[in-house]
Amino acid sequence: MEKCFHCPTDYLHNFVNIYKSPDFLQLNVSEVVSILQSNDLNAPCEEDVFFAMKLWIEFDKSCRQQFLFTVLSCVRLTLLSVEFLTGEVLPYCSCCSECVMIITKAMQLIVSPNFQSNEQRGGSCGGPAGVGPPNISSDTKMIIVGSWEDAGRNFIETYSAAQNSWSVSRDYGFNRRNYSVALVNNRILIIGGYINRAGVATVDYVDITSGQKFGMSPLKIGRYNAASATISRGSSSDVYLIGGLTSPGRTLNSVERWNSDSQSWVSNVPGMLQPLHAHAASVVDGRIYVTGGSLANKVTVNTVQMYSPETNSWSYRTPMNSSRFCHLSAVIRGRIFVVGGCGVYYNAATVMSNVEAYDPNSNSWTSITSLPSPRTGGNVCLFQNRIVFIGGRAPNGYVSEVMEYDDGNGSWNSLGRINIPREGTYPFLVPQNAVF
């Protein structure tokens, strides 16, 4: 005779053996929530927690569909792989907009260079640790910061998904252009930049909770058109400022690193294998990948350089299919996307529309559907499960159009416009309560 499990600890300690049983499937929603959200739940992997949730819904779907978001919120989505989220979780929960939002947020966290695992279920739950449901908030918005020219350099714009519109912050008076940007611990860092044909060492930050601007420790070398990348481990983050120009004709290969604990810049990272400016940098699995850029002799390259903090060294990886500079890059679902750019040094006739993606695991590049028209200096990011390309510069000037990529049919569609046409934007995801 099949054993009945009525004791709450039985459900926690023998979860794999009982979640398919009639006893579990007949529990009410509050009892299921209490079990699935418990830190003491002894599940070999989080996939079992999702399948238990799914079985419970399906047992009486007509009545329980209304609780889909409630029970899905008990599943620690960032303990799952992106492949499982896209292949199993998202298809099953696509009927619920709230579910789609927290699934999307989980995927964004997993592929984010700042994501660090910091939670694990009790018992013998295996697999990588991750962030639990309370941190997978649908209250996330997208902001853009910066510009490579005067237009928009002092203003932060915020995108409202509900209204499909952008709003502009107050004038922050950064007093320079072509700076680099990083987001660390609720701070937007404005790093270096360009004044009077020379790089400056000034570093400021804007607190996203108060909106106030403050000064920080300066760089060792003033520079502009540099690339920035952030690697985080727990509460500590390192911001790397890579290459750039210190003055026209003086291209750098040097790297400076700022640590959130020491609050200072150091130069103990070896320089790139070649000096570059107007290149791009992204982080995958704790390694920095620098794509393209221009050499000191104004030759545009297709090289990819990888920096490993473990070995404190640089190495070349498979080059891009196209040489490009004045492009930006982003990590989307574990791959590095580069979009547009310029093929020949500041030659408007060579502004590009092609898109390619790099898979660090296979060390290979794949072509993606091109933009509808050429762009340089625009940025790409993942927002609410959409690949979004923001602004940039066309051969005839700055553009304000925002486009989204439909992975289903391989097409780019318009997604509104930013208020200030600009290139060199840096998009970030911030909490809904950020002041912008």
pLDDT at 15: 82
pLDDT tens column, 65-88: 999 998 998 899 888 887 788 778
CATH code, domain with 422: 2.120.10.80
pLDDT band at 139 (very low <50, low <70, confident <90, very high): low
pLDDT at 125: 33
**Are 131 and 148 in the same domain?**
no
Of 90, 109, 135, the one marking the end of a domain is: 135
**Are 311 and 395 in the same domain?**
yes
Q: What is the mean pLDDT of residues 372-386?
A: 87
pLDDT > 70? residue 6: no
Strand partners, 291: 280, 304
pLDDT at 426: 94
**Are 276 and 155 in the same domain?**
yes
pLDDT tens column, 249-294: 899 999 999 999 899 999 999 999 999 999 999 999 899 999 999 9
Q: What is the mean pLDDT of residues 9-24?
A: 79
Of 83, 109, 135, the one marking the end of a domain is: 135
pLDDT tens column, 298-338: 999 999 999 999 999 999 999 999 999 999 899 888 899 99
Quick one: which of 33, 129, 122, 34 has its CA closest to 76?
129
Q: What is the mean pLDDT of residues 157-182?
A: 90
CATH code, domain with 111: 1.25.40.420
Pair of tokens at residue 323: 């040489």
- DSSP annotation of 79 reads G
- DSSP annotation of 360 reads T
**Are 101 and 145 in the same domain?**
no
pLDDT at 293: 97
**Are 344 and 206 in the same domain?**
yes
pLDDT band at 114 (very low <50, low <70, confident <90, very high): low
**Are 117 and 177 in the same domain?**
no
Least confident range of 121-130, 273-282, 350-359: 121-130
Average pLDDT of every residue of the chain: 86
pLDDT at 128: 28
Percent of the chain clearing pLDDT 70 (strictly above):
91
pLDDT at 340: 93
* Inter-residue contact 317 to 305 (CB < 8 Å): yes
Residue 36 domain flag: yes
Residue 80 domain flag: yes
How many Cα atoms are found within 13 Å in the side-chain-facing hemisphere of 111? 24
pLDDT > 90? residue 353: yes
Amino acid at 99: C
CA distances from 143 to 146, 171, 196 (A): 10, 15, 28
Residue 436 domain flag: no
Domain total for the chain? Answer: 2
Q: What is the mean pLDDT of residues 219-233?
A: 94
* Pairwise pLDDT comparison (431 vs 316), residue with the higher score: 316
- DSSP annotation of 242 reads E
Quick one: which of 131, 124, 55 has its CA closest to 88?
55
* Pairwise pLDDT comparison (24 vs 114), residue with the higher score: 24
pLDDT at 130: 29
**Are 257 and 350 in the same domain?**
yes
Torsion of Cα atoms, 150 then 154 then 158 then 164, to 10°: -30
**Are 188 and 266 in the same domain?**
yes
pLDDT at 127: 29
Where are the alpha helices (H) located in 163-290, listed in sequence order? none
pLDDT tens column, 186-205: 899 999 999 998 999 999 99
Strand partners, 398: 393
Residue linked to tokens 């990588």? 128
d(CA 420, CA 157): 9
**Are 330 and 283 in the same domain?**
yes
* Pairwise pLDDT comparison (275 vs 34), residue with the higher score: 275
Domain that holds residue 149: 140-431
Q: For residue 16, give the H/E element and its range.
A: helix 15-18
Amino acid at 46: E
pLDDT at 2: 42
pLDDT at 107: 78
Residue 3 domain flag: no
* Inter-residue contact 221 to 275 (CB < 8 Å): no
Quick one: which of 290, 280, 277, 298 has its CA closest to 194?
277
d(CA 427, CA 424): 10
Q: What is the mean pLDDT of residues 183-188?
A: 91
DSSP state letters, 84-96:
HIIIIIHHHHTT-
CA distances from 62 to 24, 56, 59, 65 (A): 18, 12, 9, 6
**Are 162 and 79 in the same domain?**
no
pLDDT > 80? residue 47: yes
* Inter-residue contact 132 to 76 (CB < 8 Å): yes
**Are 68 and 195 in the same domain?**
no
pLDDT band at 4 (very low <50, low <70, confident <90, very high): very low
pLDDT > 60? residue 116: no
* Inter-residue contact 173 to 399 (CB < 8 Å): no
d(CA 102, CA 135): 10
* Cα dihedral 346, 351, 356, 357 sign: positive
Of 135, 154, 187, the one marking the end of a domain is: 135
**Are 179 and 283 in the same domain?**
yes
d(CA 329, CA 313): 21
pLDDT > 50? residue 408: yes
Residue 337 domain flag: yes
d(CA 225, CA 243): 8
pLDDT band at 5 (very low <50, low <70, confident <90, very high): very low
pLDDT > 90? residue 384: no
